[in-house]
Structures are given as structure tokens and as C-alpha cells.
């Protein structure tokens, strides 16, 4: 995972699982605060990475994260460093997820967590009118956001075209597609799942860039699914025969 450029502010992340994934990744960490007598394994992991560790009282952690559920550990990340699209293009075969305007941090975090579980090559986001990686996203992703290449691009359509030029098949997840994701998945190699944001869905130009369209079959009376749930269903349909790495 490339970590070359950032203009993002520092992040304070908390929770045992989040900090554990962070310390197990290649992402830089400035400092870790651990409640005295708690999270010994995390303190040891941080020390092994030569990250400064402070044993503090619970009141210090509460001041660092007012109102936050810190679970006895807080870490400061200098900034979230996004990967480059080229890092994803260079991956020989794993799936890619493109999110065209997902705005809810909880949804973004849940999608990244599922993407990590499915072994994707990366998740691509637009810079504008979409959620960026924040502490809330890191929490919702249970820290897996530090272990998946996340790319932010200025032009989603151009990014889709570059993925297509690299030999990938772009599958748009849209409610009105005639074919189901289960039908489409059978004939797709090196897939890119392209998903729209909450409510608005895919923008027309992004949709037209895709090679195929697919929907998720639903029982009568159900109009839609949460975007993170829909993405998970579609992603596992497209990657069910691929090795998870």
C-alpha cells in the first residue's frame, strides 16, 4: 500500500481492534496512549514498532476523546495517507470497488471492512461530495481502513476508464438493471464493482462508463438496501471464486 502523499489532518483513533489493525499495518503512528494496566498487548506492539507509548489514567483518554468509547487505548495517526490509483492498476487480478459519492462515514467504514474481508485490491473514492477517511470511518471499519489501499480521485469517470484500459470489467450496481448480480458475476473476470451513493445512486456519466449493469433481486415490498449491505452482497458475488489474500 503506497503512502506517499497527504494533505489530511492528523487522526485520533481509539478502540482495541482499531489500534491493533493500525499497529499491524504499514501506516505511520505518532503516539499511543494506554490506560494503566490495560491493553498490554497493544502497548507491546507499539513498542515493537518504536512508537512512543504513554501509560495514562482514564481521565486523560477521556480528554483526548471527549464522549468517545476509547476502550482504554487511543492512537494518533499523523494523517491518513491515501494510495495512488496506479497501485490498484498494478494489481494483477483482485477485485476493485469504486464508490461514487458515498457520504455516510458509517457506510464507508462498513464497506471498507467488507472489502478487506473479500481481499480487494483497493477502494476508490471521489475527492468531492463524498466521505473521506476519518476517525469515525476507521472505527466503523474496525481499523481495516489502514490495511486496504484507499484511493481518492478527482474524476471518478476517468478512474473507471483507466481501470477498464487495464483490462478490468466494470460492473455498475443499479436497481433497474435487467440482470441480477448473480447472473453477471458468472462471466466477469477481474471485476470492478461500481456503486453509487446513498439515495442519488450512480451519476449518469459514471454509469455509462461501465461495461455491465447488475441489480440485487429483492422480495416484493422491499425497494432498496443500505449501500454497505448492497455492496457486500455484490462484492462477494463477484469474488466468490477468487482467492482471498
pLDDT tens digits for range 64-75: 877 667 778 899
Q: What is the pLDDT of residue 41?
A: 84
CB 196 within 8 A of CB 171: no
CB atoms within 10 A of CB 38: 15
Please check whether residue 210 is in contact with residue 168, taking contact to mean a CB–CB distance below 8 angstroms: no
Q: How far is CA 13 from the centre of its chain?
A: 16
What tens digit of pLDDT does each residue of 116-154 get?
A: 999 999 999 999 999 999 999 999 999 999 999 999 999
pLDDT cut 70: percent of the chain above it = 93
Classify residue 158 as left (phi > 0), alpha (psi -120 to 50) or beta: alpha
Domains of the chain and CATH, by start: 11-77 (3.30.1330.30), 85-239 (3.40.1280.10)
Residue 204 has a pLDDT of 95
Are 15 and 32 a contacting pair, CB within 8 Å?
Answer: no
pLDDT tens digits along 3-33: 444 446 788 898 888 999 999 998 999 999 9
Name every residue whose Cβ is closer than 8 Å to that of residue 213 and which is 6 or more positions away in sequence.
171, 172, 174, 177, 178, 179, 184, 207
Amino acid at each position: 500500500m503506497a503512502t506517499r502523499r497527504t494533505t489530511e489532518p492528523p487522526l485520533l483513533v481509539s478502540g482495541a481492534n482499531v489500534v491493533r489493525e493500525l499497529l499491524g499495518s504499514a501506516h505511520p503512528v505518532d503516539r499511543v496512549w494506554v490506560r494503566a494496566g490495560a491493553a498490554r498487548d497493544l502497548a507491546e506492539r507499539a513498542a515493537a514498532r518504536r512508537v512512543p507509548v504513554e501509560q495514562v489514567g482514564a481521565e486523560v483518554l477521556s480528554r483526548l476523546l471527549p464522549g468517545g468509547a476509547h476502550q482504554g487505548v487511543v492512537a494518533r495517526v499523523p494523517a491518513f495517507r491515501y494510495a495512488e490509483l496506479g497501485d490498484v492498476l498494478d494489481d494483477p487480478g483482485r477485485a476493485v470497488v469504486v464508490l461514487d459519492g458515498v457520504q455516510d462515514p458509517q457506510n464507508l467504514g462498513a464497506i471498507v471492512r467488507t472489502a478487506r474481508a473479500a481481499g480487494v485490491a483497493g477502494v476508490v473514492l471521489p475527492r468531492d461530495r463524498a466521505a473521506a477517511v476519518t476517525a469515525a470511518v476507521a472505527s466503523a471499519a474496525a481499523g481495516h481502513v489502514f490495511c486496504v489501499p484507499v484511493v481518492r480521485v478527482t474524476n471518478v469517470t476517468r478512474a473507471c476508464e483507466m481501470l477498464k484500459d487495464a483490462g478490468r470489467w466494470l460492473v455498475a450496481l443499479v436497481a433497474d438493471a435487467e440482470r441480477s448480480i448473480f447472473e453477471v458475476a458468472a462471466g466477469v473476470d477481474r471485476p470492478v464493482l461500481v456503486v453509487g451513493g446513498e439515495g442519488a445512486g450512480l451519476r449518469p456519466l459514471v454509469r455509462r462508463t461501465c461495461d455491465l449493469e447488475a441489480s440485487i433481486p429483492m422480495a416484493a415490498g422491499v425497494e432498496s438496501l443500505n449501500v454497505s449491505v448492497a455492496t457486500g452482497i455484490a462484492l462477494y458475488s463477484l469474488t466468490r471464486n477468487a482467492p482471498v489474500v
